[in-house]
Amino acid sequence: MFPTPEQIKKYIADGLACSHLEVEGDGQHFTALIVSDAFAGKRPIQRHQLVYAALGDRMREEIHALSMKTLTPEEFQK
């Protein structure tokens, strides 16, 4: 059974405080727009690591591919 975009969204939201979160996908490939204060002062790779940590083992077991755009609330407003 493949995860739905709604499930991926819940997984991320459960592990990372987000002010805005969008997830789209077809069950194997997903794209996400993630806005969080936790990204402040972090490089893109560090931001992605925070999302991977929120997803935990699901990244290896359930999710085939995830493309992310990670922004702070200030970056999102621009």
Q: Is 52 exposed, middle or buried (0-12, 13-18, 19+ CB in 10 A)?
A: middle
Q: Based on the structure, what is the number of domains in the chain?
A: 1
Per-residue pLDDT at 76? 97
Q: Is the pLDDT of residue 61 over 90?
A: no
Per-residue pLDDT at 52? 95
Band of residue 38 on the pLDDT scale cut at 50, 70, 90: very high
Residue 50 belongs to domain spanning: 5-77
- CATH number of the domain encompassing residue 56: 3.30.300.90
Say how far residue 33 (Cα) sits from the centre of its chain: 7
